[in-house]
Amino acid sequence: MTAFSESADPHRQHERCVTIDLGSRSYPVILSDAWDSGQPQNLLQQHVKDRPVAIVSNDTVWPLYGETLLQAVKKAGPSHCSWHVLPDGENHKTPAQWLAILDHLANNGLTRDGVLLALGGGVVCDMTGFAAASWMRGIPFIQVPTTLLAQVDASVGGKTGINHLAGKNLIGAFHQPVAVLVNTRVLTTLPEREFRSGLAEAVKYGLIQSAPFVDWMLRNRRNLLHREPGVLNQLVQQCCQFKAHIVREDETEQGRRAVLNLGHTFGHAIENLGHYRTLLHGEAVAIGMVMAATLSEHLGLARPGLGKKVAGIMQALGLPSDFSSLPAGIDIEADEYTPEALIQRMRLDKKVSHGRHRLILLKELGQADMVDGVTEADLRTVLQAFCA
């Protein structure tokens, strides 16, 4: 368990650092508003000086921040620096676009001593990481995450990959970056729904392992929702610490790391029902976490009222808690979102055997556990209340 400690003065620290402690594969996550000075520049010099570098981004993020990162990288003295801009969107997280990255590396002479940089959200981070994992059996890469979700989750922990037609993230590898450079100032341009979607992944850490952190998020929700820089830095630093702790214990998800999937089996089913176009990942996971808490309550694993409590937390953070509290302008066909349809999607999850489901459930705020053998009858009863 990682303790949550509130720092007295959020503005005092100019740079923050979290170490992901994995022995010889350890690396720093640096939170700083600049890439061309201080620790970020030191790290760039350490990893790119006199080496060929390729930056991978997408056509939304590159026009916003590409030039600034490029100047910072050039200042660090690479032998050669090129960039590859992907089309934006999860639907481009494909083998074809991954191959296009590798073609770029081949055409730009990225040898084994080359370095990749990912500038973008989780899609760019995952794809660049997988290109780095596979090119010449693995070259170093640096994550420069630009969405809240990528800063608190996708850029840390070494899961890299792309989608296969048969499903999300089916092709991939564990490959840790050599550094993660977080600049929360880039979050100012993030669309509102994307920002809140990231808050869902942040509050997930609190639900799993720290009730005081949930409480802190609620007390600071106005500043969080206004993207106040000091509070955002505290949020991201704390989330990276939570993730660092879990990843250190279980790097390749043999056991404890699975608690990070709280709300995700439900969430993936919800995303899948909307063909990944209706709800964002974090929004679906927010509803999924309320479902998990309600199911715990139903199974007698949690005290009565936990489901409502978690629903209240999601609402306070501007997130949906059920299908009747979706973001403005999002319509779903109620007759498609039935318990049966959700359960059918949940069966596609790897964690089902003989019709019984393995799920991450919530015992109380700050305590999650893996539970085996959940029956579909129990799922049906709980989901009915969400789908009515």
Ligand X SMILES: NC(=O)c1ccc[n+]([C@@H]2O[C@H](COP(=O)([O-])OP(=O)(O)OC[C@H]3O[C@@H](n4cnc5c(N)ncnc54)[C@H](O)[C@@H]3O)[C@@H](O)[C@H]2O)c1
What is the number of the residue whose Cβ is closest to ligand X?
A: 122
Q: Identify whether the C-beta of residue 207 lies closer than 8 Å to the C-beta of residue 214.
A: yes
Residue from the set 7, 82, 169, 315 that interacts with ligand X by CB under 6 A: 169
Is 259 a binder of ligand X (CB under 6 A)? no
Which residue number, 161 or 339, has a Cβ lying nearer to ligand X?
161
Q: Confirm if 52 and 208 have CB atoms less than 8 A apart.
A: no
What the block records as the tokens of 164 is 């296969």
**Residue 33 CB contacts under 8 Å (≥ 6 apart), including other chains:** 183, 184, 185, 229
352 pairs with which residues across the strands?
A: 357
Residue 93 to residue 162: CA distance in whole angstroms: 5
The nearest distance, CB 237 to ligand X, in angstroms, is 18
Whole-number minimum distance, CB 120 to ligand X, in Å? Answer: 6
- Tell whether residue 220 is a contact of ligand X (CB under 6 A): no
Between residues 243 and 298, which has the closer beta carbon with respect to ligand X?
Answer: 243
Taking the complex as a whole, the smallest distance from the CB of residue 197 to ligand X amounts, in Å, to: 6
Q: Coil, strand, or helix at residue 192? A: helix
Distance between CA atoms of residues 171 and 99, nearest Å: 13
Site for ligand X in 102-161 (CB under 6 A): 120-124, 126, 146-147, 149-150, 153-154, 157, 159
Enter the tokens of residue 366: 């700050």
Q: What mask, x for binding ligand X by CB under 6 A, covers residues 180 to 219?
A: ------x--xx---x-------------------------
Convert residues 260-299 into a mask of x (bound to ligand X by CB under 6 A) and - (unbound). ---------------------x------------------
Q: Which is nearer to ligand X, 104 or 268 (CB)?
A: 268
Of residues 80 through 99, those in contact with ligand X by CB under 6 A are 88, 90, 93
Terminal-residue alpha carbon distance, the chain: 38
Q: Which is nearer to ligand X, 150 or 359 (CB)?
A: 150
Between the CA of residue 121 and those of 93, 187, 357, what are the distances in Å? Answer: 12, 11, 31
Shortest Cβ distance from residue 198 to ligand X (Å)? 7
By C-beta, is 185 or 363 nearer to ligand X? 185
* Count of C-beta atoms within a 10 Å radius of residue 145: 28
Instruction: Quote the CA–CA distance of 222 and 215 in Å, as a whole number.
Output: 13
Q: Does 250 bind ligand X (CB under 6 A)?
A: no
Token pair listed for 92 = 């481009």
Neighbouring-strand partners of residue 172 = 161
x/- track of binding to ligand X for residues 44-63 (CB under 6 A): --------------x-xx--
Q: Within a 10 A sphere around the Cβ of 55, how many other Cβ atoms?
A: 23
Record the tokens describing residue 60, joined without a space: 């939304």
Regarding 20 and contact with ligand X (CB under 6 A), the answer is no
Residues annotated as part of the active site:
137, 159, 201, 243, 253, 257, 261, 264, 268, 281
CB 54 within 8 A of CB 66: no
Smallest gap from residue 375 Cβ to ligand X (A)? 29
* Interface contacts to ligand X, rule CB under 6 A: 58, 60-61, 64, 88, 90, 93, 120-124, 126, 146-147, 149-150, 153-154, 157, 159, 169, 186, 189-190, 194, 281
